[in-house]
Amino acid sequence: MTPRRTATIHDRLRSTGLVIGAVLVLAGLLGWAGTRNILRRMDEALQRAQRDAHLASHLASAVTQELQAAASPPGRRCSTGRSAKGIR
């Protein structure tokens, strides 16, 4: 082999290595950005689910109070669960 041909092969290997390295760095950045986006969306979904669970708990509590008030004898309790004495 001639020195010129060896330099050409070396240049090609170096440039190919640089291209592969750049592609790997780009793929890593895209993967990181995608993962970050997924985590952000999961966090938003979790916050919505927690808010919905909190509202459902309050609704269940209010329904339970209303059912208990309806089950008590008339004149003993109002719908808020307080004594109805003196309320007309």
**Full-prediction pTM beyond 0.75?**
no
Q: For the segment 20-44, what is each residue's pLDDT rounded down to a tens digit?
A: 999 999 999 999 999 999 999 999 9
Cα dist from 58 to 16, 44, 61, 71, 81, whole Å: 63, 21, 5, 20, 15
Which residue's structure tokens are 């010129």? 4
CA separation for the pair 29, 9 (Å, rounded): 30
Q: For the segment 45-72, what is each residue's pLDDT rounded down to a tens digit?
A: 999 999 999 999 999 999 999 999 888 8
Where b means 16+ CB within 10 Å and e means fewer, 20-44 reads: eeeeeeeeeeeeeeeeeeeeeeeee
